[in-house]
Structure 1
Amino acid sequence: MGVLRLQSTVPGLIERVVEVIGLERQFAHAYVSPGLYVTQASANLREWVSDPAQPIIGQPLVELFWEIVGMEAEITAVLQGQVPNYTLENINRKNANGADTYFTLRLVPLDNTQPDIGLVLITENTTAFTRQAQELRQQRNELGLLRDQLDQANAKLSHLATTDSLTGLSNRRHFDKELTRHLEFAKQAHKPTTLLLLDLDDFKKFNDTFGHSAGDTQLQKLAAIMWANRRKEDVLARYGGEEFAIILPETDKTSGAAVAERLRQEIERRLTPEWADAKLPGGKETQFGTAASIGLATAPEHADTQENLIQAADNALYQAKRNGKNRVEICHQHNT
């Protein structure tokens, strides 16, 4: 008798509570027999899970919720009071208007003290929440895409702001910042920093003879040679015109001179063949614009400030020009 009274009073109580607190749009419910057949159901449940014109009373629960296929053991555990409930989220159905409806299904025992008398099925309409979550995910994805585009744009702007457009090496502005940074580190670490200034010999004559387009190509080839022969830590920059600068961190003048000489030889080897057969008016062969002079200065041996180090390297470059070009000269002055 107690079981019969429970079965007759609980359904009415649940319906009354749902009606009083105004949750009929958010919640729907049904009663399920021990054999997992629907015995009673609220009207809105029919609207959510099936064609409202089709009855669901007497239908197997699995016909209404195919998502529970394979979950028989879990549901049986609820029916027998072994676990408090079984919950399935993000169930999706099309309503009568063809719109997506989302809800959460929860099965609880009809009476925790009386196993195997049936289940209460409670469904919560989560359509609004799910759509908001979907919109938020879409907005988050769009924001992520915009953030990626912004990062790419900023990276491109940063590259443009620090890179010489012709050669792809660092520009003068970036070189100045890098030299400042390396000199500050070298001072703190008590390590040398060597600066190379490189100038393409007789480049003006080359430019005037073969044209600016050929001159630009020659500068690009020179930059490619420098890049191919750089060390990972070196900083390469176009200093201006046909003059280039190379920062050699943690490098003394002896090691720096070896780096400079290898580079000079590589430039002579790779640039000269490009114009070996070029003829000037009158049939004279050209021997300009195919080799480089390099000046070297080291901090703190030759200078202890950025301005003085650049001047010292420039003086050494000037000396290389005076001594016949296509050579490396080390600064002879010393920091006092």
Structure 2
Amino acid sequence: MSEIVLVTGGTGFIGSYVVRRLLEAGYHVIIYDIRQPGPEAVWILKSVTGQAIFVQGGIDNWSRLFQVVEEYRPQKGIHIAAIVNPAYLAREPMEALRVNLEGTIHVLEAARLFKLQRVVYFSSIGVLPAVQYQPIDAAHPVLLPQEGSGSSFYGASKVAGEAFCFAYRQSFGVDFITLRPSAVYGFGMQWPIFIKPMVENSVRGLSTRFEKGREFPRDYTHVEDVAQLAVKALQIPADEVRDRIFYGATGRPLVTAGQVAETVKSLIPEADIEIGSGLSEDDLIEIRYRGILSIQNAQEQLGYRPRFADLRDGVAEYIETYRRYLAEGNNK
């Protein structure tokens, strides 16, 4: 297999795992990211060191992205790069437009001009408004008569990106698949979502305290499973694609932060974790779009099989990986 794949955001958490899986599958990979790989990304990619080409640039920089696509001529693209900080975007909403939406349009325009065979677009479950039914499938509305995306400007930018994917397909025939990952965790994660400090502090022998949040539920999805889904979305032949939107999730009942704590303590008996009851104001907003997610279409159409559908298995893998990382002299 000698296809060239452009991965925007390829030095980030999810991007690093996607890049590694692509390289292991025999693809040539061009990483396009505004940041150089950090220590954790370098470690994740150590088994494939030197196999990918890194090009520095932002998705908001159209001329730079055009130059890179023109030079390397990828056949396909996986678009992960985005600002994923809803609180920051609530303060700076124009950044949601400039980076997340316009950046996505830049990728789609490059796909149109250079005839990429497919773009896999990373959206988010943050596009959802209040849950209307469960399990939540790709037909669940993202706009209601009374409200829009629960994650505000972040979700709005992702909804708009999804709409532009459909527009580029309708008008220009650009082939795409949209993925909506849920609560992605694993070694290298940046956002805590409770699980990161629970695991990493416990491995290091440190205490972990949360004032509240015990009841907050998520469909925690291991990053390896999300990377698997991304590559399967890239590979499915165009004439076999029926749906265009898939959830990157386990499809199982939601797991609370309290249950995560108990799972970590069962795997690290000496773990010192305390988490109080109650939800913050932000939690009360976010919990409205949390529900059981359907992965049926991903299983049937893409052959998606989450390896870490059981949280205990995923947390055990995270613990083992983080221990190996520390054992090799890394101190973060």
- TM-score for the superposition, normalised by structure 2: 0.23
* Bigger relative CO (Cα 8 Å, ≥ 6 apart): 2
- TM-score for the superposition, normalised by structure 1: 0.23
Q: Which has the higher strand share?
A: 1
